[in-house]
Amino acid sequence: MAAKSSILTQSGQVRRAIVVGGGLGGLMTVIKLCEAGVPVDLLSLVPVKRSHSVCAQGGINASVNVKGEGDSPYTHFYETVKGGDFLANQPPCKGMADAAPGIVFMLDRMGVPFNRTPEGNLDFRRFGGTLFHRTAFAGATTGQQLLYALDEQVRRYETLDVEDERGVTVPGEKMVRKFEFWDLAGLVLDDGGVCRGVVAQDLKNGEMRAFRGDAVCLATGGPGLVFGRSTNSIINTGAAAAIAYKQGAIYANGEFIQVHPTAIPAADKLRLISESVRGEGGRVWVPRDRNDRRHGRDIPESERYYFLEERYPRYRNLVPRDIASREIFRTVIHEGYSAEGEQAAYLDVTHLCKTAAGKSAVRKKLEGVLEIYEKFAGADPYENPMKIFPAVHYSMGGLWVDFEKGADGSLKPGSARNQATSIPGLYATGESDYQYHGANRLGANSLLSCIYGGMVTGPAMATWRESQSKSAFDLSSSLFETEHKRRVDEYAALGKRTGADFPVNPYQLHEKLGEMMLQKVTVERHNTELDGVLASLQDMKADWKKAAALDPGAKGTINQPTVFLRHLDGMLALAELITKGAREREECRGAHYKPALDPELHPDDPAAVGRDDARWLKTTLATFNGEGPTLSYEGVDVSLEPLARRDYGKVAAATKPAATTHPSDVAGATPSPNTPDGVS
């Protein structure tokens, strides 16, 4: 227990760290802090077990190579940076890929019910951007199983007494104190700009409280709600990261928003149909005849256009997500194909379910996902091709975090720099940081980066905490009282927004924001439209100042619209940095795509900038200037793998696959890709 020497302050208070967020990233950070002997306050907007990680379906990547395909952690690392279009710093990615097999074995020992092969080995399925079976999974509820496993570990620490350096129990103090239904309202920064704690609000009764912390971590997930409709939970506003950004933390690569290729089209929430469906053999297609309005199941094989398979014969339906989404978008929106006349393509598993054995094998591996389709689309996916369309899903961007490179080119274990934001004492991990996925995340790499990030963040915070000559618990209470009052006053002022001076409905304002971002800042980006969005955002920020609390609520209760106003402020701030980052980045890279600059679309146009690594192999850094973002750029650490062409073997129709050059592109795995084992 490394931190025992400084468990108490001179005045006898327990020196705690703070973790905001109880998803996989936050829980792993808590576990590692406790292992290092650091007591933790864990705050979460929702009950920890309802954190958005619970929704993850498909799996978690680790190159365990049980199928003897020649996969390795190095190949996983390489494919991660290639999938991310070379924009990720390579040392953290290497650390993550190296740690992945150990992480899956650890989760297995914790009791995660991973699927197994008939021989009893862990089973692995295919996911996008690789030809290897690399994704461990627990049916179609992997995120839930992982979250519950880590939650159990944290609960153990909730019952464990804090002991001082002599091993004497500190009365009434447990290693973890959990605060569920608490919403971050602000960071407490001292005169030197060091983070010394947080102010948060209890959403059960409105109480605002200042928490002291000798290191603080935000593990608050992604900002999908900025786009209105997405595959994310409705609490994923990104407001906590926005609060940190507005208080001085740098936000990196905000423009890289992942649009997942396969979600159920809908007017409200967009429900994901996991990549695991394609990993198990699902095929994407549209009717070859653009005017074909027949039901998908009535269209014969010869009249189906399997456009991903034809265009990418090696990776077929499992090209990386940015590519798959763009191809679906292009095929449906620009080329005019449809599914029963609707703006959608088909994702089909019916060919796998023709026999009872095949159907049962599909059910065993995908039931959780397919029942979502049945429930929300009202059609049985075992019998009917599913109608899907791309949907906002994940943010590669997030709070900028540092790293220290170790001797092996990966991360230096325990360095206080790892996962540290630009605010000293403040750390970030999970989807709310930007570190591991560059310009495009590979499927099943997020659960991994959350857990690996937590494993790195906990020790980093413990080291930082040890290095501090003065504890937050020894500082004058006036700092905390001032910040507490600031947030109480802010909330009270928001709550007073009623009457004619506040004619704007915040929920309608959010709807307008989401619709605009969804239409103009997702799969395809055009500068003229981005300029329009930036102008509209100025109007919306002005409108936010006129947005009403709707119902001020009674004393001692919480008023949801007032809390929503706080989150909406954060969403507007993030929308602006996302759009500005997109406007400034004059290239196509990963999920950020401008048709005007696509050399494929403009082969003979010298004005098309195409790809300029010398200029754009850079991380976008957004700093809040009091009004909006100021952008600057930072080089990417490409010390381990030289840049290569991001080639997934696209071919023009009726030509052969292009030759590939990197060893990982030709290693072991057989091309034919998304035919599943045992369910042919």
Ligand X SMILES: Cc1cc2nc3c(=O)[nH]c(=O)nc-3n(C[C@H](O)[C@H](O)[C@H](O)COP(=O)(O)OP(=O)(O)OC[C@H]3O[C@@H](n4cnc5c(N)ncnc54)[C@H](O)[C@@H]3O)c2cc1C
Which span sits near ligand X by CB under 6 A: 58-66, 383-391, 411-419, 492-500?
Answer: 58-66
- Return d(Cα 637, Cα 644) in angstroms, integer: 15
3-state SS assignment for residue 660: coil
Task: Give me the least distance between CB of 219 and ligand X, in Å please.
Answer: 5
Residues with Cβ within 8 Å of 589's Cβ and at least 6 positions away in sequence, in order, are: 85, 87, 439, 611, 616
How many residues in the shown chain lie near ligand X by CB under 6 A? 46
DSSP tag of 328: H
Strand 386-395 and strand 195-202: the pairing is: unpaired
Task: Give me the least distance between CB of 478 and ligand X, in Å please.
Answer: 25
Touching ligand X, residues 106-145 (CB under 6 A): 142-143
| Residue whose CB is less far from ligand X, 143 or 287 | 143
Q: How many CA atoms lie within 13 A of 392 on its CB side?
A: 30
Site string for ligand X, 19-38 (x = CB under 6 A): -xxxxxxx------------
Site string for ligand X, 390-429 (x = CB under 6 A): ---xx-----------------------------------
Burial class (CB in 10 A: 0-12, 13-18, 19+), 407: exposed
Which span sits near ligand X by CB under 6 A: 39-47, 189-197, 384-392, 408-416?
Answer: 39-47
Q: Is 201 in the site for ligand X (CB under 6 A)?
A: no
| Residue whose CB is less far from ligand X, 239 or 352 | 239
Q: Is 52 in the site for ligand X (CB under 6 A)?
A: yes
Residues with Cβ within 8 Å of 625's Cβ and at least 6 positions away in sequence, in order, are: none
Out of 73, 281, 425, 430, the residue judged to bind ligand X by CB under 6 A: 430
Q: Is 101 in the site for ligand X (CB under 6 A)?
A: no
Out of 324, 444, 518, 558, the residue judged to bind ligand X by CB under 6 A: 444
| Residue whose CB is less far from ligand X, 365 or 583 | 365
- Return d(Cα 83, Cα 387) in angstroms, integer: 26
Contact 124, 136 (CB under 8 A): yes
- Return d(Cα 2, Cα 475) in angstroms, integer: 23
Q: Is 57 in the site for ligand X (CB under 6 A)?
A: yes
Task: Give me the least distance between CB of 549 and ligand X, in Å please.
Answer: 18
Contact 440, 86 (CB under 8 A): no
| DSSP-derived secondary structure for 510-563 | HHHHHHHHHHHSSSS--HHHHHHHHHHHHHHHHHHHTB--S----TTS--HHHH
List the one residue out of 216, 679, 238, 253 whose CA is nearest residue 436: 253
Which span sits near ligand X by CB under 6 A: 42-50, 64-72, 360-368, 403-411?
Answer: 42-50
Q: Is 55 in the site for ligand X (CB under 6 A)?
A: yes
Which span sits near ligand X by CB under 6 A: 17-25, 314-322, 379-387, 593-601?
Answer: 17-25
Active site residues: 321
- Return d(Cα 114, Cα 120) in angstroms, integer: 10
3-state SS assignment for residue 356: helix
Touching ligand X, residues 223-282 (CB under 6 A): 231-232, 239-240, 272, 274
Return residues touching ligand X (CB under 6 A): 20-26, 43-46, 48, 51-53, 55-60, 142-143, 182-184, 219-222, 231-232, 239-240, 272, 274, 393-394, 430-432, 444-447, 450
